[in-house]
């Protein structure tokens, strides 16, 4: 085994302000990308979960997305491990941070870990084994353990079986691929050549990636929880205005890029997206007028959606 000195250089077009030299003992099989913005409270836990993996031939790329806290300082204390690299860039958002990591990844496969989530010890080894067992598989995902802020287990969020995965994703049949950024492992060359994260999206970037992967690639599913998702009070998923922006952007992409051909199913899918926005404004933001606006949009684009709204309304009254 020979020592390999790798120098990571990313052009200014990609927004990297500086880089850290990384010393590796061999070429990694798996690249792990952690995007981090003001993640000082949790990032040590996340990196520790990588260090505890039963599979050891990995590289970890932490991308500090312009943090104003001591995220970089915490990561820097761990750089004695030659498998860990720290990149720093001006704040450009989580998708840009993930993409910066994707561009420099050297592993055969790539996976991601949000800076407040946690890998269980056999996460890498089990997903690697699946991908290695059948080279026709492009990506693999698993169930996810939903946790409280202190990583205490709350419930298992199940994925779905891979048959008709794209249709299930488009109909939002459950989470389908739960907590995608901290879950999927994908062939690196596919991510680098075809599937960078859309930098116009924030809290739905993972949903759009789920659409693109399920439409184009061959999946595999491991029906067990190998990742912990930490629910925090200020998590991005709670910001309804970002959800609205992102869902409308994805709806526009579905039409403009013909991700779904014109017809009943496309109208149904977009109506469902409007209902998601409507429900979030009602339940999470307590803005009933804005919720009504998007419910009406859903019915206008797909009139049978009225019966879904009627069913939900009846259910609410029956609870009282």
pLDDT at residue 308, as a whole number: 62
Q: Which residue has the tokens 């492992």?
A: 185
pLDDT at residue 15, as a whole number: 46
Instruction: Decide if pLDDT at 316 tops 50.
Output: no
Instruction: Decide if pLDDT at 11 tops 50.
Output: no
Mean pLDDT score, 64-75 = 97
Distance in angstroms (rounded) separating the CA atoms of residues 156 and 40: 26
Q: Which residue has the tokens 């030659």?
A: 82
Burial-class residue 288 by CB neighbours within 10 Å (0-12, 13-18, 19+).
Answer: exposed
pLDDT at residue 203, as a whole number: 80
Burial-class residue 87 by CB neighbours within 10 Å (0-12, 13-18, 19+).
Answer: buried
Full set of structural domains in the chain with CATH:
4-236 (3.90.550.10), 239-319 (no CATH)
Among 225, 193, 217, 58, residue whose Cα is nearest residue 135: 217
pLDDT at residue 80, as a whole number: 96
What is the CA 203 to chain-centroid distance, rounded?
9
pLDDT at residue 117, as a whole number: 97
Mean pLDDT score, 184-199 = 97
Which ranges constitute the DSSP H helices of the chain?
43-51, 71-76, 94-104, 123-133, 165-170, 188-194, 205-216, 240-256, 264-283, 288-301, 305-319
pLDDT at residue 309, as a whole number: 60
215 near 108, Cβ under 8 Å?
Answer: no
246 near 217, Cβ under 8 Å?
Answer: no
Provide the β-strand partners of residue 87.
Answer: 63
- Greater model confidence, 57 or 286: 57
115 near 67, Cβ under 8 Å?
Answer: no
Kindly give, in sequence order, each residue whose CB lies less than 8 Å from that of residue 309, ignoring residues fewer than 6 positions away: 275, 295, 298, 299
Q: Which contiguous run of DSSP H or E holds residue 224?
A: strand 219-230
pLDDT digits (tens, 9 = 90+) for 228-282: 999 987 654 458 999 999 999 999 999 999 999 999 999 999 999 999 999 999 9
268 near 251, Cβ under 8 Å?
Answer: no
Q: In degrees to the nearest 10, what's the CA dihedral of 183, 245, 104, 54?
A: -10
pLDDT at residue 311, as a whole number: 59
Mean pLDDT score, 287-314 = 81
206 near 240, Cβ under 8 Å?
Answer: no
Instruction: Decide if pLDDT at 76 tops 80.
Output: yes
Distance in angstroms (rounded) separating the CA atoms of residues 98 and 113: 10
Sign of CA dihedral 74, 76, 82, 84: positive
Biggest CA-to-CA distance, the chain:
69
Of the given ranges (69-73, 261-265, 313-317), which has the lowest mean pLDDT? 313-317
Provide the β-strand partners of residue 6.
Answer: 22
- What percent of the chain has a predicted confidence (pLDDT) above 70? 87
Count of alpha carbons within 13 angstroms of residue 115, beta-carbon side = 26
Instruction: Decide if pLDDT at 87 tops 70.
Output: yes
pLDDT at residue 109, as a whole number: 98
Instruction: Decide if pLDDT at 23 tops 50.
Output: no
pLDDT at residue 175, as a whole number: 83
- Greater model confidence, 234 or 226: 226
Distance in angstroms (rounded) separating the CA atoms of residues 305 and 128: 42
pLDDT at residue 235, as a whole number: 55
pLDDT at residue 238, as a whole number: 57
Q: Exposure string (b/e) for 237-256, b if CB count within 10 Å is 16 or more? A: eebbeebbbbbbbbbebbee
Mean pLDDT score, 176-187 = 95
pLDDT at residue 224, as a whole number: 97
Mean pLDDT score, 61-68 = 98
Provide the β-strand partners of residue 225.
Answer: 143
């Amino acid at each position: 085994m020979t020592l390999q000195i790798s120098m990571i250089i990313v052009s200014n077009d990609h927004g990297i302000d500086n880089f850290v030299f990384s010393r590796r003992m061999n070429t990694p099989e798996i690249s792990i990308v952690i995007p981090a913005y003001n993640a000082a409270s949790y990032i040590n836990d996340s990196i520790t979960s990588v260090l505890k993996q039963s599979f050891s031939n990995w590289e970890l790329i932490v991308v500090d997305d312009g943090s104003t806290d001591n995220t970089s300082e915490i990561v820097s204390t761990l750089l004695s491990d030659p498998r860990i690299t720290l990149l720093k860039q001006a704040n450009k958002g989580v998708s840009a941070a993930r993409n910066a990591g994707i561009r420099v990844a050297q592993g055969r496969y790539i996976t991601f870990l949000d800076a407040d989530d946690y890998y269980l010890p056999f996460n890498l080894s089990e997903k690697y084994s699946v991908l290695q067992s059948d080279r026709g598989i492009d990506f693999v995902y698993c169930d996810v353990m939903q946790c409280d802020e202190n990583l205490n287990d709350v419930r298992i969020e199940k994925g779905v079986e891979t048959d008709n995965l794209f249709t299930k994703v488009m109909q939002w049949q459950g989470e389908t691929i739960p907590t995608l950024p901290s879950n999927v492992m994908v062939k690196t060359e596919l991510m680098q050549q075809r599937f960078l994260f859309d930098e116009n999206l924030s809290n739905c970037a993972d949903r759009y990636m789920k659409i693109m992967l399920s439409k184009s690639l061959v999946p595999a599913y491991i029906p067990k929880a190998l990742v912990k998702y930490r629910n925090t009070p200020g998590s991005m998923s709670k910001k309804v205005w970002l959800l609205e922006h992102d869902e409308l952007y994805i709806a526009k992409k579905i039409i403009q890029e013909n991700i779904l051909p014109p017809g009943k199913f496309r109208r149904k899918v977009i109506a469902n997206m409007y209902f998601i926005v409507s429900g979030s404004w009602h339940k999470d933001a307590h803005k009933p007028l804005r919720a009504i606006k998007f419910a009406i949009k859903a019915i206008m684009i797909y009139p049978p959606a009225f019966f879904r709204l009627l069913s939900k309304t009846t259910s609410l009254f029956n609870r009282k």
